[in-house]
């Protein structure tokens, strides 16, 4: 799986799955990440890699499940919030 770099330095970017950029949807397909029951997609830049961000956790970001996936070697993380 190739690295994905969105060039974000300090902004956590959030989309509903329906409005998520096609680049991320394509990445999720290639990485075999579930998109059924997926409500929210966030990209957390490496500056926050060691920070606890409570609203990116269950039940705030995903009422039933929250998954984290590294996007690149820099530490950028894809956060997925599911409702079931």
pLDDT of residue 73: 87
What per-residue string of b and e applies to 41-64 under the rule 16 or more CB within 10 Å gives b? bbbbbbebeeeeeeebeeeebbee
Contact at 8 Å (CB) between 82 and 51? no
Digit-coded pLDDT (tens) for 15-29: 999 999 999 999 999
Q: Name which residue leads in pLDDT, 42 or 74.
A: 42
Q: How many residues appear in the chain?
A: 84
| Residue 66 scores a pLDDT above 80 | yes
Q: Which two tokens stand for residue 46?
A: 């490496």
Digit-coded pLDDT (tens) for 6-64: 666 788 999 999 999 999 999 999 999 999 999 999 999 999 989 999 999 988 898 88
pLDDT of residue 44: 94
pLDDT of residue 10: 85
């Amino acid at each position: 799986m190739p690295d994905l770099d969105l060039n974000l330095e300090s902004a956590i970017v959030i989309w509903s799955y329906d409005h998520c950029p096609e680049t991320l949807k394509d990445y999720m397909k290639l990485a075999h990440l579930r998109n059924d029951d997926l409500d929210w997609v966030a990209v957390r830049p490496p500056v926050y890699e060691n920070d606890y961000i409570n609203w990116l956790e269950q039940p705030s970001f995903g009422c039933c499940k929250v998954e984290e996936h590294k996007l690149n070697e820099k530490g950028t993380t894809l956060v997925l919030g599911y409702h079931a």
